[in-house]
Structure 1
Amino acid sequence: MPVPARAGTEADDAARARALRKMRTFATGLLAFAALVFLLVHLFTDLTGVWGFVARASEAAMIGAIADWFAVTALFRHPLGLPIPHTAIIPRKKDTLGRSLSEFVAANFLQSATVSQKILSAQVTRRAGEWLAEEGNQTRVVRRAGQGLEYVLARVSDEDIEALTRDVIVPRLVATRKAPALGMLLREVVDDGAHHRLVDLVVGEAHSWLESNPQVIDEIVKQRSPDWAPRFLSDVVSSRLRREVLSWIAEVRDDRYHRARQALDSWLVQIADDLRTPTSLADRAENVLDELLTQPGVVDAVLEVWASLKRLLRAAVIDETGEVQARVRRLLAEAAQRMTTDEEFAAGLDARIATTAGDLVESFGGEIASVISDTIAGWDAKEASDRIELYVGRDLQYIRINGTVIGALVGTLIHALTLLLP
């Protein structure tokens, strides 16, 4: 299985490869230099005096360099291609190393206290407010939000909405009893008095209409009065009836606690209770609602609403000088000001963010850290080893260099001790 896409760019990887080759060449050069010195000293000197120190130093330097070369190479591959036990550790143990690294990260980093404290010390709210206070960033946020909305709208077709409405929403609504929910909604409306404005509007319009059209009552009285009744009597009755009706409607309009209003409230409460219980009214309401939902025009109406909503949303997204985007910018500016000036608000928001992040990490830390082990498990062993060596191999070459230098110093010290001892 191929290794996943590289985290860095090709230029970064090329630079790392050059640095690795340079350090590897330098470390190998030190080993070659120590071997050359060792060979020359043994060929052309008697190994006495200072030459003894040089010989022992070069010998120990070679030993240290070769030992550290073996140790570094054994991490990534078999030295000299020989299948020596406990070599090529990373290719052979990459899955185990991935699990260990995942457990280490989860146990030491993805902890509630650690993450919460880091978020609190970072002052996320204040820094976010400072960033958001700049007009350019506000414009960027609004534009990105608009692009995201346009992306969603472009990928939700009318056919999808039609299929969703016809095949999912309407059948689900038909299969569900709607009368209890309707009764509960009606009861909430009555309890909150939300219908009073509608009653005020209807009563007020009725009073104005009757006041502007007195002939309506006159016509009713004329049609209902007997033929033998004199004309003046019909006029008196219609005039009196018109005054009484207008007076009664005015009382209902002006008195919020009129008996007619109370009777209407009681009637609506009774309807709401009947809808919430298995009654004939609830059954009739259910049948009416089902018939309405199964009408072909329901899907067309939903599509028309969706088309209108898309046009409105697109207009708001496209018009950067429009009222919608201007209002969003003002809201962002107000939020940014409060985030940067209201220390109590910022501290409270930071605390909530820290608590939420800590809870998430505490609950899902293991799953989050498992990304490491799962990713490493999916890598090809050799390519994974090469990639890891590319990133850390340059620093590991210092082990070879240090081994060469320290070996030379230790060889010199040991030779000095052998001369001093009896």
Structure 2
Amino acid sequence: MNQASAINPENAEKLAALRRTKFIATGALCLCVAVFIAAKLLQPRFPWLGFVAAFAEAATIGGLADWYAVVALFKRPLGLPIPHTAIIPSNQERIADNLGRFIEVNFLAPGPVREKLGEVDFSALVADWLSDRQRAEGLSRFVARLVPQTLAAIDQSGLRGFVSERMLEQVEKVPLAPLAAELLSAFTDDRRHQKLFDQFTKVVGKFLSDEEALAVMREKIREELPSLFNLFRADAYLLKKIVASAGSLLEEVRADQDHPMRQEFDRFVEKFIADLRNSKTYAKRAEKLKRDFLARPELKALAGDMWESLRNLIEQDARAENSMIRSHLAGMFVEVGRQLAGDEKIRADMNQGFVVALASFVESQKSGVSSFIAEQVKRWDLGQLTRLIEMNIGRDLQYIRFNGMLIGGIAGLALYVIELVFLVN
């Protein structure tokens, strides 16, 4: 404790009140002595003063006894080495230990702590804090400043490699063939795969109208026909017929959504999907393809490049003046605050969580608090400790002296009356 804490305005006022009360109590004690002496001297002339003398005598004795009791708490009366005086200074360490244990047992017990914590609406405080746009923006700036350190920590800790390996392991566990079958089934709903068939017919149609492609086809036909037929340009005739027939067929297919070729394509796709879903051969091929793909070094390099690109993008945005990350974070914090303010169930769960967490923390630290309080009290200056206690409770203790004089005087007067009534002949 320092001297400043003892002479601040509040303590100065308490000290002044204590001195006034002491002065009045001492004056009352001196008055009792004076009244006693005067009454005894005048009693032969005025017998009724015997009652006054008895009251004043007993009041003096009571006042002296209570003065002794009050003074003995803080120091030795008149400086005499009387046993069991200066109680507070002589028992500083015991008082410190008992005060620490008292606070630990009575103020930091689990029941009262949980009850007091339960009175606080922590979630409302959090919601109000987050709902303030300025505070949310400040929090977003703080979080954004941590982004580079967080990303660097991820790299240095090997967390990125660990996560990548775990993801690849999980991907390897997923059967590819049934998954592909499900995807294709979703794609073929409402015969959407027929659009792919339409594109195929258009490609074939473009092929049949390409001069170079037709020249190659004519050359192939020429090689297969006998020489006699080539003299009559049969290859050109056959090519023309083939192209015309194919073109006509493709036109019919594109115009008729229920054409037999479309139905055949439907059956082909359905069979392929069923084979993907149920065939062990397809499953083995798909798994081998998946393993070969995951084992390729290009995939790992691609993952590394994607991570570096993502990291650079995040770091640059976090440092930018108009950061999108900060803006979205601030908006998210504000929205979280508003949603939290309106959801009583979540707030109740949060408050319960706060109570459990803080109560557990207090329970684990209360012995340390007790020891801390005891150590602090033991370190206090002895004289300063005595003055502090006397300033805070000394004024009330002085009223004990008034009560002692009053009760003692009444008792003395009662005894004097009893003496006159029963013991005097």
Change (3 A) 1:402 1:177: same
Q: CA deviation at 1:94?
A: 3.6
Distance in structure 1 (CA, Å) of the matches to 2:13 and 2:173 = 70
Report the TM-score, using the length of structure 1 for normalisation: 0.61
CA distance in 2, matches of 1:365, 1:5: 26
Q: Who wins on radius of gyration, i.e. which is larger?
A: 2
Give, in angstroms, the shift of residue 303 of structure 1.
1.7
- Per the TM alignment, residue 399 of structure 1 is displaced from its structure 2 partner at its CA by 1.7
One of 324, 332, 336 as aligned partner of 2:341 = 332
* Alpha-carbon shift at residue 260 of structure 1 (Å): 4.5
Q: Deviations over 1:266-286 (max 9, x none)?
A: 689969x97xxxx99579599
Distance 1:213 1:95, change over 3 A: farther
Is 1:311 matched with 2:288? no
Aligned counterparts of 1:206 and 1:349: Cα–Cα separation in 2: 51
Contact kept, 8 Å, 1:189 with 1:195, in 2: the verdict is no
The verdict on how the C-alpha distance between 1:153 and 1:332 changes in structure 2, with shifts beyond 3 A counting, is closer
Q: Could you report, residue by residue, the CA deviation over 1:42-75 in whole angstroms, capped at 9, with x for unpaired residues?
A: 4554498443333343233233223323332333
Are the structure 2 counterparts of residues 308 and 354 from structure 1 closer, same or farther at C-alpha, using a change threshold of 3 Å?
Answer: closer
Query: Taking structure 1 as reference, are residues 65 and 328 closer, same or farther at Cα in structure 2, changes over 3 Å only?
Result: same
Superimposed CA distance per residue, residues 326-359 of structure 1 (whole angstroms, 9 cap, x where no aligned partner): x8546523428x99xxxxxx8x999988877776
Distance 1:229 1:47 in 2: 162
Match of 2:223 in 1: none
Change (3 A) 1:169 1:355: closer
Q: Is the 8 A contact 1:115 1:358 kept in 2?
A: yes
Distance across 1 between alignment mates of 2:139 and 2:285: 42
Partner of 2:217: 229
Aligned partner (choices 134, 148, 155) of residue 170 of structure 1: 155
CA distance in structure 2 between the partners assigned to 1:289 and 1:406 by the alignment? 97
Amino acid at match of 1:312: H
Tell which deviates more after alignment, 204-213 or 372-381.
Answer: 204-213
**TM-score relative to the length of structure 2:** 0.61
Structure 2 residue matching 1:229: 3-state secondary structure: helix
Q: Is the 8 A contact 1:106 1:366 kept in 2?
A: yes
1:404 CA drift (Å): 1.8
CA distance, structure 1, for counterparts of residue 40 and residue 298 of structure 2: 110
TM-superposed CA distance for 1:385, in Å, is: 3.5
For the 8 Å contact 1:92–1:381, the answer to whether it is kept is no
| Cα distance between partner residues in 1 of 2:415 and 2:14 | 38
Identity %: 23
Q: Is the 8 A contact 2:15 2:391 kept in 1?
A: yes
Counterpart residue number, 1:301: 313
**Cα distance in 2 between the residues matched to 1:286 and 1:387:** 75
Deviation readout 1:195-250 (Å, 9 max, x if unpaired): 99988999999987886797667678979969521577689499699987x95799
Structure 1 stretches lacking a partner, 5+ long:
318-323, 340-345
- Is the 1:76–1:385 contact (alpha carbons within 8 Å) kept by the matching residues of 2? yes
Change (3 A) 1:333 1:67: same
Match of 2:230 in 1: none
User: Which digits, 9 at most, give the CA deviation of each residue in 1:268-327, with x for residues without a partner?
Assistant: 9969x97xxxx99579599648854885x554233246443212233566xxxxxx55x8
Whole-angstrom CA distance in 2 between matches of 1:148 and 1:400: 58
Alignment of 1:74 with 2:86, yes or no, is: no
Distance change (3 Å), C-alpha of 1:186 and 1:290? closer
Paired amino acid for 2:2 = P
Paired residues of 1:73 and 1:79 also in contact (CA < 8 A): yes
> Aligned partners of 2:361, 2:418: CA distance in 1, in Å?
62
Is contact 1:56–1:411 with CA below 8 Å preserved after alignment? yes
Change (3 A) 1:215 1:293: closer
Aligned counterparts of 1:74 and 1:249: Cα–Cα separation in 2: 109
Summarize the Cα distance change of 1:330–1:380 in structure 2 as closer, same or farther, 3 Å threshold: same
Closer, same or farther: CA 110–315 of 1 in aligned 2, 3 Å? closer
Trace 1:197-208 onto structure 2 (pairs within 5 A): none
User: Separation in 2 of the partners of 1:399 and 1:38?
Assistant: 21
Cross-structure match for 1:32: 30
Query: Structure 2 vs 1, CA of residues 210 and 308 (structure 1 numbering), >3 Å: closer, same or farther?
Result: farther
Query: Are 1:96 and 2:94 counterparts?
Result: yes
- Are residues 163 and 362 of structure 1, via their aligned partners in 2, closer, same or farther at CA, if it must alter by over 3 Å? closer
Written as runs of structure 1 = structure 2, the 5 A alignment for 1:12-31 is 16-17=14-15, 19-31=17-29
Equivalence for 1:2: 2
Decide which of 61, 64, 71 is 1:63's aligned counterpart: 61
Match of residue 342 from structure 1: none
Alignment deviations for residues 351-395 of structure 1 (CA, whole Å, 9 cap, x no partner): 988877776666554345555435534544443433333333332
> Contact 2:59/2:407 (CA < 8 Å) preserved in 1?
yes
